[in-house]
Each structure stands twice: as C-alpha cells, then as structure tokens.
C-alpha cells in the first residue's frame, strides 16, 4: 500500500510502486483529467502538479510520491464552480478536442501560482513542453493571460 495525497485527500493505493502516477490517477482513483499522450515526457497531456510544480505523471512512479502534494484538474474546481484557470479557458473557448487541455491547465496553474504576472514570452517558454495538435495554442495563451490577470486581481482584492 502506498499512501498518496491527491487534491487534499489521502488515498491508500495497492499498486506496484513502479506504476506511473498517471495510471493510478486514472484507473485506481477514477480521475480522468490527466491523459495518456506519449508516456515519454514529450507531450504534457499527463501534466499534474506535485508540490506546486508541473510534472509529467506518465514518468513519475508512485514510489517517489508519498508525503508529496499531488493536484489534478479535478482539484482546481468543478464544471459548476471552475477555478480561475479553468474559467479563463472556458471564457476563451480554449480547446478543440480538449485532449490536451487538462494538461495545459495544470501547467499554466503551476506557473500562475508563482508568477501570475508572467508575460507572453515567459508563458510561451513555460508552456513549451505541452503539445496541442488541434492548434489551440493562441487561445490557450489568451486564456493563460486572462487567468493571470484574474489571479493578480484576486490577490490584490484579498489584501
């Protein structure tokens, strides 16, 4: 049994410690957000956050995760009450097939939590690991900037 903290809840998982987190999220915990795209760390479809950083869940064996804080798109908000990054993606309609989208949201979330004011060049460099074949990159960039504005505004408001 390996104990994993996912979206604030602790789960005891009976899986081989070598199993990449992606498979445990999807098949043991029933979370659909992280997607299998390549299993090679080349596309970012599987991106989740671990201790605040964006990581490829397809290459992260659960053996290294006890004691660490895992977040997936399911932890950012719901369809009815989306988090700021999710809301910005909706507002910009930043998807076509949407297969890459959850990974995009998670990578953007990791950036904006540290740097909500990130500029275009910074956002592009940060998002570089994630691929979108439908060509929604321009919408994604708009959504990330929009979310950044919302998150800066929110922070100011709460001060």
Partner 1 sequence: MTVALPRRKALAAGGLLVAFSCRRARAAARLPGDLQKSPLLDSWLRIGPDGRVTVFTGKAELGQGIATALIQVAAEELDLRPTDITLVTADTARTPDEGFTAGSHSMQDSGTAILNAAAQARALLVRQAAAQLGEDSANLVTRDGAVVAPDGRRLGYGALAAGLSLDVEASAASPLKPPGRFTVIGHSLPRVDLPAKLAGGAAYVQDMRLPGMLHARVARGPSPGTRLRAPDLRGAGAMPGVVRLVRAGEFLAVVATGEWQAVAALRALTASGWEADGTAAGGTAAAAPIDDAAGLPGLPARDLVILDRAGPAPADGARQFSARYTRPWLMHGAIGPSCAVAWFRDGEMTVWTHSQGVYPLRAAIAKLLRLPAARVRCIQVEGAGCYGQNGADDAAADAAVVAQAMPGRPIRMQWMREQEHGWEPLGPGMLGAVRAALGPDGRIVSWEYEVWSNTHSRRPGGPGVLLAGQEMDPPFPAPAPRPIPMPEGGGDRNAIPIYTLPRARCTYHFIPAMPHRISALRSLGAHLNVFAIESFMDELARAAGSDPVTFRLAHLDDARARDAVTLAAARFGWSARRRGADRGFGFAFARYKNLGAYCAIAMEIEVARETGALHLLRVVAAVDSGQAVNPDGIRNQIEGGIVQATSWTLQEQVGFAAGRRTSFDWSAYPILRFADTPGRVDVHVIDRPGAPFLGTGEAAQGPTSAAIGNALADALGRRVRDLPISPARVREAASV
Partner 2 sequence: MRQSADFGTTPSNDASLVCGRRGRRQIRVFESALRGATLLVVAAFAACAAAAGPRPGATAAAAGFPPDEIADGAGLAAIGGCAGCHTRSDGAPLAGGAPVRTPFGTVYGSNITPDRATGIGAWSLADFARAMRTGVAPGGRHLYPAFPYDHFTRVDDADIAAIYAFLMTRRPVARATPAPRMDFPFGFRPLIAVWNALYLDDARFQPVPGRSAEWNRGAYLVEGLGHCGDCHTPSNLLGAERSGRPLAGAVLDGWYAPPLTAASPAPRPWTADTLATYLRTGLDAQHQAAAGPMGGVVHDFGAARPSDLHAIAVYLATTMAASAGAPRADRGAAANRGRPEATALFAGACAGCHDAGAPMMQQGRPSLALGSPLHEATARDAIAVVLFGVSPPAGPAGPFMPGFAASLSDAQVAELVDYIHARFGGGAAWRDLPALVRQVRKEGSGG
- Residues at the site binding partner 2, with contacts judged by CB under 8 A: 16-20, 39-42, 50, 53-56, 58-64, 121-122, 124-126, 128-129
- CA distances 37 to 45, 52, 58, 103, 146, Å, are 5, 22, 9, 10, 27
Contact pick of 2, 5, 38, 69 for partner 1 (by CB under 8 A): 38
Least distance in Å: CB of 78 to partner 2? 26
Least distance in Å: CB of 154 to partner 2? 24
CA angle 99–23–143, rounded 5-degree value: 30
CA separation for the pair 82, 28 (Å, rounded):
24
Q: Which of residues 86-115 bind partner 1 (CB under 8 A)?
A: 86, 89-90, 93, 95-102, 105
Contact indicator for 130, 104 with CB cutoff of 8 Å: yes
CA separation for the pair 47, 65 (Å, rounded):
15
* Cβ nearer to ligand FES, comparing 3 with 93: 93
Instruction: Say if residue 6 is exposed, middle or buried (CB neighbours under 10 Å; 0-12, 13-18, 19+).
Output: buried
Residues that bind ligand FES (CB under 6 A): 36-39, 41-46, 56, 58, 95-101, 132-134, 136
Residues that bind partner 1 (CB under 8 A): 15-16, 18-20, 23, 26-27, 30-33, 35-40, 42-43, 45, 72-74, 77-79, 82, 86, 89-90, 93, 95-102, 105, 123-125, 127-139, 141
């Amino acid at each position: 049994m390996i104990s994993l903290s996912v979206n604030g809840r602790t789960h005891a998982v009976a899986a081989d410690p070598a199993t990449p987190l992606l498979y445990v999220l999807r098949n043991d915990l029933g979370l659909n957000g992280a997607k299998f795209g390549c299993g090679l760390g080349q596309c970012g479809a599987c991106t989740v956050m671990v201790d605040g950083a964006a990581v490829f869940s397809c290459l992260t064996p659960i053996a290294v995760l006890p004691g660490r804080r895992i977040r997936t798109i399911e932890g950012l908000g719901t369809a009815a009450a989306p988090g700021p990054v999710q809301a910005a993606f909706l507002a910009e309609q930043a998807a076509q097939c949407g297969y890459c989208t959850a990974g995009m949201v998670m990578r953007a979330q990791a950036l904006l939590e540290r740097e909500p004011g990130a500029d275009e060049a910074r956002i592009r460099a940060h998002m570089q690991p994630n691929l979108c074949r439908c060509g929604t990159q321009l919408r994604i960039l708009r959504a990330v900037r929009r979310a950044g504005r919302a998150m800066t505004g929110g922070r100011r408001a709460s001060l």
